[in-house]
Structures are given as structure tokens and as C-alpha cells.
Structure 1
Amino acid sequence: MALPLLASATAATATAAYLSARLSLPDDLLFYKITGSTLVNMLRAHRAGRTNLYYLLEERALAPATAAAPFLLFEGRTLTYAETYARVLRWGEYLRARHNVQPGEVVALDLTNSDTFVLAWFALWSLGATPAFVNYFLTGRPLVHTLKTSGARLVLVDPRVAGSLTDEVRAEVGAGVNFVVVDEGVEREVDATEPKRQGDEGRRVDSYVGMAILIYTSGTTGMPKPAVMSWLKIYMASMMAAKGTGLAKGDVFYLSMPLYHSSASCIGVGSVIFTGAAAAIGRRFSTTSFWKEIRETGATIFMYVGETCRYLTVAPPELDPVTGENLDKKHKVRVALGNGLRPDVWDKFKSRFGIDTIFEFYAATEGPVGFWNRSRNDHSKGAIGRYGVASKLFVNGRTTVVAIDPATDAPWRDPKTGLCRRSATGEAGEMLGHLDPTNIADRFQGYYGNAEATSSKILRDVFRRGDAWFRTGDIMRWEGAAEGRLYFSDRIGDTFRWKSENVSTTEVSQVVGLHPAVHEANVYGVQLPHHDGRAGCAAVALGEPVSVELLAALARHALGGLPRYAVPVFVRVQSGVGLQTTGTNKQQKHVLRDQGVDPSKTEGDQMFWLREGTYAPWGEKEWRQMEAGEIQL
């Protein structure tokens, strides 16, 4: 009897494992852990009148189990939860007594990454005020626009970026705005202030979708817009990271991405305070200091955005100065969490640094759309979302992918009905998020003080008259049957049309980036004289000098891995990685796109064009011939 029972048990175990994998039950479980925890925490806090996350800091600071636990680590300093709480109360009283900050008003923070950023942020919450996070890289008109649209009369400024406050900027912003440079004098004044806890009434939150923070869009194609970050979004972002990574007390989350961005602030610091873990803040991202600070702080989780992992992967290894030992895997990191890790870097990064788990996510700061993919192998490599049967049904009830009209870059509409069409599995289209047409603000709070920009993100009459959907502006596709894997294809506007075909810059970049000599590839479409559409151009950073052999190998690689219409017609060789990126390491294309392939505008970079199966030099002579109509591609 023992053998048949053992065989039956083995078969049952194998069947259960098969069904679990086939139906992606772990992905379903993770989904409901994240969403369930969000709802439970949100409802409990809101019913108790403690929606404001200041109360969570207070709870951690007063609880014996966490009061003495480290919360903020920065440049050798450590603040426990209790110490942070006391400093927040000092900052709050300073802002109230010295600058008359009142509940409900917006205060702008033009601060670089530091523990002071977090202290000022929570101090504003302690007063019931709203912080507006300013991109500290901004200068001139974008900075003026950002400060004006925030409506702030008080701006806290980091001494490191105070030089951006020129006389012209101050004059355009107006005399009614007070700029306070947070120098040593201000820090001493804060330290000398008696810590006072303000009454609960000023922190009252009427709606869980009320404004918690103003976070600005990147402004790469226009002026930055103030997106309303609601309390519910912060709860959701925090739970996503906390449950997705298994973050717990004793963990250290390393954050070198800018705190003015929702990833490092709402997802990073938010998940830390929900779990009683610690946040190790890096002043800025640097390939030379990244792993050093990871080791010094004992970080177990870190955040990446955009091309961060690529830059780490192509950087030379750090060697022990005494033993010469390679230190790539000398760390405690078990999870890398972020967005923008491309398939061509995914395995290289995991293998080189010994990272067990990648938690890739996608989120729109201002919108009701978010996805995630927790991956310990290469099965879902490059996916931004991964769901089981049950959770995919839920996700598909609140989001959808619709076919795109290549002539307008807008969702395609049936000529007869005027309605849109859902994309089939494997077909790329724009991702939309469902909105209640009678209560848009329930899921999309829009842009602060900008009804026109808010309205531009809402698409109506999509599948039936009167419905409403949020436009992400991003092209995605679903893959997989029982297991739903979601992949990012491109940004609308980056995709271009060549030879009557749509070309995804992201997908071409991924293929080009797989060549071992390519450290980075940024692909975009360029307009050419006497040609329709846009021709593909790949701006590349190479790990070896340009040679005839390398150019031929690049051409063979592209021709072998891409449809002929998608193969870059031009290659622009740049001097290093990260030359066209935002403060969060996301590639920018608009400058390169505007420069095109006119040699007088390409800043001395070497240019090549696809000719007879290889990449040949492209210069003034060839450009003049094209202008004269003598070259046709």
C-alpha cells in the first residue's frame, strides 16, 4: 500500500505544481495581497481620521518595537523613527511660527536628496499642508513655470541649487514668493525650535483621493505639469513595493533616484514607513558610488529607474584595493525594484551582480494605471506586468489596450460607429485606464489648476457613448494565454513610420543593444529631405573603437534581428552612456530627433548610414546629395 500511496501523493503534488504554474496562482496571490492590503490600510486609516501618513510616522516613533529602529540613513548619519519624529515636529513648528504655514496651503520643496528632504516633507504633512516636489535640475522658464503653477508662496531651496534662483527667475515668479535657502543657519534655527505637535483638525483629510503631494511631469516635450498625487495612490504604491519585495523591519531600501519623483518618494519612502524598515538615501545616482553605498548601508533592496541598471552593467567592476577581489557580488541585495529595465540588460544585470529577484513595475503618476512583474527567472524577462487568470480578469476590467491610428497617433475609430477597437493578444496599442464618467476625480485627479491639460488626458466614447478612459500615452501589448504578461512597446510620439510600417523605438533599441559592443542604444526617427515618414537612427555608445569590422558586425546584427523596415538607416556614435537622459535616467529623444542627421547639427559625433550591407561614413557630402535629391533610400 505504501508505494501506491506514495505514487498518488507524488502525482498530486506534481499536478498541483503544474496547475499553480499554468494558472499563475502565485501571481494571483501577490495581486490580491497588494490590493487587499491597500484597501484594508486605507479604509482603516480613513475611518479613524488618520489618512495623512504623518500618523504612521507618529505610530512608528511611539511604538516600543520601532521607536529605536533606524528610519533614515544618509551620508553616515542615522535617524531612528523617534528621532525623525522629533525633528519633524521641530521643522513643523519652525514652518508654522516662522513662516506662517497653514493647513491646506502648498509649499514648494526645491531640495536635493537628503534626510532634510524627508523631514521637511513630513513636517508639511504634520501641519496639514501640501508639499510640491520641484525637479531641482530645472532652471529658467521651466523653473518659473513650475513655481507659479504650484501656487506656493514659500519655497524651501537646497543651497546646492540656489544658483538657479537668478534675479530674472525671482522677478518672474513675483515678490509675493519667499525663497528660504536651507543652509546651516536655517538648520540651526530649526534645531533650536521647540518640537510641538499640532492638533488633529488641521490634518483632517476629507477624501482618500484628496491631494497629498504635487509631483511634476518631466517636461521633456513641454512645460512640467503639476500632477495631483492622492493619498490612495501613495497607499497603493507603498503596498505594491512592500508586498512585492517582502520588505520588513530590518531591511534597508537604498534610494539614489531623485526624491522629487514618485518612485523614490511615494514607492520607496512610503513602503519603508509602512513596514518599519529603513531608507538609505543616496545624494544622487553615480556608478562609482552606488555599490559602495549599498555595502556601507547594508542595503537589501534598491530602486532603479530608466537606464540605471544598464549604466551599472557597463561600468567597470570595482576591485578590492588590497586583495584585488571583484566586489560585484559583495552585497546583501536580494531585490531590485524599479521601472525601465530592458530585456537586453535584464539577464546581464542579474548575472553580473547576483540579484535574485527583479520587481519591475509601471505606473502613471497622475493616472489610475499601474502594473507589476515579480520575476526570479527569465520567463517574464522584460515584462512590466504579470498576472494569473483571476487577477488578469480584474486588471482587464479596469484597463484596456486599443488599436492606434498610425496617421494620427490617436486611438483608431471605426468610420461607421466612431468607436475604438480593443487590440488582440500580441497586438500593440495604447493602454487606457477606465474612469467613471460621472466622477472622473475618483480615479484621475488630474493636473493642479490646469483643467485643459486634465481634459486632454480623458478619452470619451471609446466603446460606447458616454464612457470615459484615461490616456497613458504609452503603447503596450499583452502576451500569454492563461498567464498574462504585459510588455511596454513605446511612447506615442516616439514610434515612427517608415516604408509604410510602424517602428517601435524601444523594440529596435533592445535588439541593437544585444550586440556585445553596444553599451547603450537610443533609437528615434529623423526626417529626411525628399523622403516620406522618418528613417530610423540609433545613437549608440560603444565599448570599443569604431572599425570597419565593427560597423559591418552591427549591420549584420541589426539585419538579422529586425524586419528590414525597422533596421536603423543611420548610426550616430556618441562618446558615452547617459548623454541624453532625464534626472531619473530615462532616455530623451527630442534633442537627437531635432538634430537629425545633418552633420552640421550632430555636435561632431561620427555618423554612418546603411549601405550595401554595412554602415558606411555619412558626412557633409552625402547630406548635400540627399538635399539635392540625389540619394533615395
Structure 2
Amino acid sequence: MEQILVGAAATGLLGMYFNAKTQLSEDLRLLSATNKVSRAMANAEKLGKMSLFHVLEDNVRRTPSAPFLFYAENGHSETYQETYHNVCRMASFFVSKGVQSRDIVAVAYTNKPAFIHIWLSLNALGAVPAFVNYNLSGDPLLHCLKVSKASLFIVDDDLVHNVYPSKNKIDEMGFDTVFFDDRQLEAIGRLESKRPDCDNLKNNFATTSCIFYTSGTTGFPKPAPFALWRWYGAGIATGTYLKMTPRDRFYTCMPLYHGTGSSCFIMCIFQGACFCLGHKFSVSRFWDEVRRSKATFINYVGETLRYLMTAPPSPKDRDHLVHTAYGNGLRPDVWEAFRDRFGIANILEFYGASEAMATMLNYNRGSLGVGSIGRYGLLQRFLTRKDLLAIRVDNATEQEIRNPKTGFCEVVGTDEPGELLMRIPDPILFAGYYNNPAASKKKTIENVLKKGDLYFRSGDLMRYDSDGWWYFVDRLGDTFRWRSENVSTTEVAGALSLYPAVADVAVYGVSLPRHDGRAGCAAIVTQTDTGLDMAALACFAKHSLPKYAVPLFLRLMEELPKTENNKPVKVQLKKEGVEPGKVNQLHTIYWLKGGVTAGNEYVRFTEADWKDLESGIVKL
């Protein structure tokens, strides 16, 4: 009997090891969730009910009195049925403005319930909202309106200060601009709740549900159509994989004009859960709003969770109902510290983009996989071996490296950085950029593994290990070359962020006279009222990083330029470099004088030092 028990225990342990190694159970769970998407889309298209409005209607039929929308700013709440009537009234307003199926309507709106009403009502009519970044004004705003090809512009009254200075130019472009102030919203609220004529929309999986804009860090934002199949995938597959139920409540304060925040709403409407909306991210208000929302899920982007960690510890840190944090851009050094402090069991880190063909997921519940943006187990790796891969690229030119004999791309091996590619099985699935075929073409690459194949270029350097874990290395173009070595800005920033006096950091390469490649520069924000010991920081950097990756320069700043999703914007920093006359006089530049070996502390970098580099007196 004892031998049987020992044998059973050994078999059980072996099975656990096999499952942990192959991730078979996770692969099967993900496949099951993905298959649900295919069935749901086929059924919706067959019934002529393929729209987000029809998904809302299905919920109203099943659970009309279930909570659907909670606005943490003022406690406003709506059931599925109440939202349905608000959407129908909003649709009546758009009908009165002449909106028809396939029309595009530009929308600049902050996080408010009306954002959801506008989106669903336009989809009910077969129309498409183009969600403009509400922080934009002037030329970037005018550009977004022009390329949208819309004629109606809906504006949150809180944004008058951004829009009104350009109002005359917007009028000249032929736009009918409607400001949604209290008076306008009250008038819409008095309209009849009449069901829109939405049964002959002729939608299919590739129909555009909305248009997002890229962040515009390297130029004006580009409009990226978001097809219904993407939302069905997020709402059904990701929601199911996250184990969401109608009892869950999902809180986000990330802007809804971006896909990450909107995906939280999508999961709620497909899973019959409650969507809890914060107006704007605030460290001081975040947990109070989460508690007020009774949220079980929270959403993060970029540095959001690190900012929450900067708040002083509180006895209320674990006073919440949250069991899962969902988002992207979580730094490895914050990952477990955040989980331990706030007692959140699950972290779902994902990787995706508005133009991408797929989403990678890492449903993390322990130390295994911390820092990874997704994992493909043994089964998934076999099934997607041609769908998801990384290829060798030239970091200087950002072009692919092809085999001189075959002409095809060279796929990287394990633990080797390469640009992530996603196969485009059918061109209809890749929407690219709206009305911009040239920019769309730049995001694709042909003849990767065989003649005639087509892939989406992510522009991101990734690596994967032998167990199928994928890790973000750097943005292509951010990685720079110094002393014949490739330097990952992400890895350098991660190392420097562990230094106690560093509150925020962004790393980039700068050009120097009479030197090949780019030297590393770290823009640093220090902790409040904390001085920076330049000798200690230099010692820390040298012990934490390979010699070639130690930043030669520091730029001290009060605040880093960020996108609205808390991601560093480095374009201007790279452009200015370290030349004293080009850098903002409020920012002090320091350097390891004479190079990493010679310099034992960071000292002020002066005009005279720059001239020594120009003349060739100093070589690094």
C-alpha cells in the first residue's frame, strides 16, 4: 500500500512538473477561449447581429437589471437596461444629425459615461467613432480631424480650451462641431428611447468598430481602424481566459480613446460584467475609487503601478476586493513588489497594438514568468510556429537581415533579440492605417519564410526562452550601438530604476562628435527632497550593467515627458542629445569624464567638455 501511495505521489509530482514545463493546461484553456470567439462570430454574422450594440441587447434580454456602468467620479450608475435606453436616445440624436451607416464621426471625449453611450449608439447605426486624443490642440488636433474624413465632431465641453482656439479652422474644414455641455446632454436625455434600425447593417468580422490614433511620438498621430474581430477576441477570449464572470467589476482610469482602457469595457460587455470608470489617473484617488467601485479587476498601463508604489504605505493598502490587475508595460522590478504590498493574486500582462494581428498574454500567479509579456506552451508553440516569430534586424537601419542564399528572413534562436512579426493569413484582416496605404505598407513585410507570405512588423525587439516565455527587449530604434555592442534602453532603465534615489528614468542613445555609434544617456528624476550621490550612482551602474551599457551621460530633470498612458517620450531628448547649447538650461548634464573606466563619478558636463570632444582631445 505504501509503495502504491509513493508511486501515486511521484506520478502526481511528475505530472505537475510536466504541466509546468509544457504549460499544456494553459494552452488548452487559451485554445478553448479562442474557439469560443470563432463560434460567436459565426453565429452573430449568420443572425445579422454582429455589432457591439447587439451584444448590449443580448445582455439586456438576459439580465436587464444587472449593473453595467459605474462612474467613480460622482457615483453615477446604470443597469444594462438603463444604458440601453441612454444609447437609443443618443442614437436618435445622431440620426437627427444625418449620421448613416459607415459614416465616421470624430469624437474628443474624456472618461465619462457619455463616451460609452456615443460609441454604442454610433455602432448601432453602423457608424464609426474616431477617438481623438483629448489632450490634443492646434495642428495635431487639426491633422487628426482631417485624416478621419469625418464631417461631424463631438466634443466634451470640458475640452473647450483645447478645441476653441482652432474652431475657425475646424469650421473651414467643413465640420459640424457639437459641444456636449449639460444643456446638450439634457436635451438628448429628453429624446425618445427608440431602437435604432440596426438589423441590416451587413457587418462582418472585418467591419470597423472604431478608429484609434497612434500616440504620435514620432510625428502626427495616425488613424488605425479597429475591426470587430479584434473586439470579439478581447471580449470573449481574453475575458474567458481571465476567468471573468457577470459578478465581476472592472475598474479603469486609463483613457478610453486608447485600446487598453477600451478593452476593459469590451470585456465587461461581452462577459455581462460591470464596467467601472475613473475620470483620470491620480495616485491619491486611485484606491479610493477602486474601493468605491467595489472593483475586482483593475487596469494599468506603463508606469501606473510604479506610481502607485511611490505613495506612502497605508493600513488600507489591502482594503479592496481586487484579485486581478490587467495591463501592459509593467516593469519587472515593480511586479512582485506591487503584488506583495497590495495583495493582488493575479497579474495579466499582455502585449498588443492597435494595428497588430494578435495579443500575447501572461496570466501570472507567482514568481514564474515575472517580467514576461506572454507565454506559449509546447502545444501553442507548435500550432503558432509560423504565426509568431522574431527575425534578425540591423539596428542601425532597422531593416531585416535576409539569408544571402534563400533571400528569406533569418529567424532568431532562443534568448536572441529580434523584431517580433505576426503572420497576416488574409490581407482583409490587416486594416493598417486609415486612408494611408504608404504607412500601412511600412508595417508589413513579405517573403519572410516563403515566397508570397505576409507579416505584420511590430517594431519591437523581443526574445523568447526555451520554455516559451517572451520578453520585451526594446523598441526598434531605441536600441543603440556603442563599442560594437547593442544596448537595450529598457534593460539599462530597469537596472537604474533600482537605485534608491531614482524616481523615474528614461534611457536613450546620443550622437557624439568624432565617435561612432551612440553613447548612453539616462534622463533621471530623483526622489522628492533626495540628493543624488554621483559617485555612488556611478558605482551602482558599473556593478549592475556590462561596461558598454553603463550610461556615459546623465540628464537631471524635474519630470520626464510622457504619453497619456505614462510611457516615456524620448524623441525630443534624443534630438537634443547632450550638446550644452541644445539642452534645456533647466536640465543639468553630467558625465563620466574620460569614459566608464576613467570616470568614478558623474560630474558636470560643460561647453568646454563638448569642445574637447569636437576637437578629438577626449576619446571615449
TM-score for both structures, normalised by structure 2: 0.95
What's the counterpart of residue 411 of structure 1? 400
What's the counterpart of residue 596 of structure 2? none
1:400 and 2:389 matched: yes
1:472 and 2:458 matched: yes
- CA deviation vs aligned residue, 1:430-489 (integer Å, no higher than 9, x gap): 0111124xx412x3111111111111111112222222211111110111x2x3100011
1:25 and 2:24 matched: yes
1:62 deviates by 2.5
1:508 and 2:492 matched: yes
Secondary structure of 1:215's counterpart equals: strand
CA spacing shift, 1:351–1:418, aligned 2, 3 Å: same
What's the counterpart of residue 322 of structure 1? none
What's the counterpart of residue 244 of structure 1? 241
CA spacing shift, 1:365–1:198, aligned 2, 3 Å: same
What's the counterpart of residue 177 of structure 1? 175
1:6 deviates by 2.4
1:564 and 2:564 matched: no
Structure 2 Cα separation of the partners of residues 495 and 316 of structure 1:
34
Secondary structure of 2:139's counterpart equals: helix
Structure 2 Cα separation of the partners of residues 116 and 172 of structure 1:
23
1:387 deviates by 2.0
Q: Which runs of 5+ in 2 are unaligned?
A: 594-598
1:167-316 aligned at under 5 Å gives the runs 167-168=165-166, 170-171=168-169, 174-205=172-203, 207-265=204-262, 267-316=263-312
Aligned partner of 1:268: which letter? C
Aligned partner of 1:594: which letter? K
Between 406-415 and 349-358, report the one with greater CA deviation: 406-415
Structure 2 Cα separation of the partners of residues 202 and 260 of structure 1:
28
Structure 1 Cα separation of the partners of residues 68 and 406 of structure 2:
56
Secondary structure of 1:539's counterpart equals: strand
Aligned partner of 2:242: which letter? T
Structure 1 Cα separation of the partners of residues 295 and 471 of structure 2:
29
Structure 2 Cα separation of the partners of residues 240 and 613 of structure 1:
53
Secondary structure of 1:555's counterpart equals: helix
CA spacing shift, 1:192–1:169, aligned 2, 3 Å: closer
CA spacing shift, 1:603–1:271, aligned 2, 3 Å: farther
1:546 deviates by 6.1
- CA deviation vs aligned residue, 1:486-517 (integer Å, no higher than 9, x gap): 00111111111111211111111111112232
1:578-597 aligned at under 5 Å gives the runs 579-597=560-578
Structure 2 Cα separation of the partners of residues 30 and 559 of structure 1:
44
1:448 and 2:434 matched: yes
1:25-424 aligned at under 5 Å gives the runs 25-63=24-62, 66-74=63-71, 75=73, 76-97=75-96, 99-168=97-166, 170-171=168-169, 174-205=172-203, 207-265=204-262, 267-317=263-313, 319=314, 326-424=315-413
Q: 8 Å contact 2:589–2:604 — kept in the other structure?
A: yes
Aligned partner of 1:367: which letter? A
Structure 2 Cα separation of the partners of residues 347 and 541 of structure 1:
23
1:174 deviates by 2.9
Aligned partner of 1:517: which letter? A
Structure 2 Cα separation of the partners of residues 307 and 451 of structure 1:
33
Structure 2 Cα separation of the partners of residues 280 and 547 of structure 1:
40
1:628 deviates by 3.6
Structure 2 Cα separation of the partners of residues 392 and 88 of structure 1:
43
Secondary structure of 1:73's counterpart equals: strand
Structure 2 Cα separation of the partners of residues 200 and 115 of structure 1:
22
Count of residue correspondences: 612
- CA deviation vs aligned residue, 1:318-350 (integer Å, no higher than 9, x gap): x4xxxxxx2222111111100000112112211
Structure 1 Cα separation of the partners of residues 399 and 370 of structure 2:
29
Structure 2 Cα separation of the partners of residues 167 and 15 of structure 1:
68
Secondary structure of 1:203's counterpart equals: coil
CA spacing shift, 1:172–1:184, aligned 2, 3 Å: closer
Aligned partner of 2:363: which letter? R
Secondary structure of 2:187's counterpart equals: helix
Structure 1 Cα separation of the partners of residues 406 and 7 of structure 2:
57
What's the counterpart of residue 619 of structure 2? 632
What's the counterpart of residue 521 of structure 1? 505
Structure 2 Cα separation of the partners of residues 201 and 62 of structure 1:
16
CA spacing shift, 1:547–1:53, aligned 2, 3 Å: closer
Structure 2 Cα separation of the partners of residues 79 and 209 of structure 1:
31
Q: 8 Å contact 1:73–1:297 — kept in the other structure?
A: yes
CA spacing shift, 1:603–1:350, aligned 2, 3 Å: farther
Structure 2 Cα separation of the partners of residues 619 and 544 of structure 1:
26
1:28 deviates by 0.9
1:533 deviates by 1.4
1:278 deviates by 0.7
Q: 8 Å contact 2:396–2:480 — kept in the other structure?
A: no
What's the counterpart of residue 323 of structure 1? none
1:602 deviates by 3.0
Q: 8 Å contact 2:138–2:165 — kept in the other structure?
A: no
1:159 deviates by 1.0
Aligned partner of 2:478: which letter? D
Structure 1 Cα separation of the partners of residues 57 and 166 of structure 2:
41
1:364 deviates by 1.8
1:240 deviates by 4.1
Q: Which runs of 5+ in 1 are unaligned?
A: 320-325
Name which of 534, 541, 560 aligns with 2:518: 534
Identity of aligned residues (%): 40
Aligned partner of 1:448: which letter? Y
Q: 8 Å contact 2:91–2:122 — kept in the other structure?
A: yes
Between 128-137 and 239-248, report the one with greater CA deviation: 239-248
Q: 8 Å contact 2:146–2:173 — kept in the other structure?
A: no
Q: 8 Å contact 2:395–2:477 — kept in the other structure?
A: no
Structure 1 Cα separation of the partners of residues 378 and 131 of structure 2:
38
1:185 deviates by 1.2
- CA deviation vs aligned residue, 1:68-100 (integer Å, no higher than 9, x gap): 111111121001100000000000011102x11
Secondary structure of 1:248's counterpart equals: coil
Secondary structure of 2:5's counterpart equals: helix
What's the counterpart of residue 433 of structure 1? 422
Q: 8 Å contact 2:36–2:237 — kept in the other structure?
A: no
Structure 2 Cα separation of the partners of residues 555 and 35 of structure 1:
49
Secondary structure of 1:90's counterpart equals: helix
1:620 deviates by 3.2
1:545 deviates by 5.2
Structure 2 Cα separation of the partners of residues 554 and 31 of structure 1:
44
1:607 and 2:607 matched: no
Q: 8 Å contact 1:144–1:173 — kept in the other structure?
A: no
Q: 8 Å contact 1:140–1:169 — kept in the other structure?
A: no
1:167 deviates by 4.9
What's the counterpart of residue 538 of structure 2? 555
Aligned partner of 2:437: which letter? A
1:172 deviates by 5.3
Q: 8 Å contact 1:211–1:231 — kept in the other structure?
A: yes
- CA deviation vs aligned residue, 1:6-48 (integer Å, no higher than 9, x gap): 2333222222212211221232133213312222222221222
Structure 2 Cα separation of the partners of residues 627 and 424 of structure 1:
41
Q: 8 Å contact 1:404–1:410 — kept in the other structure?
A: yes
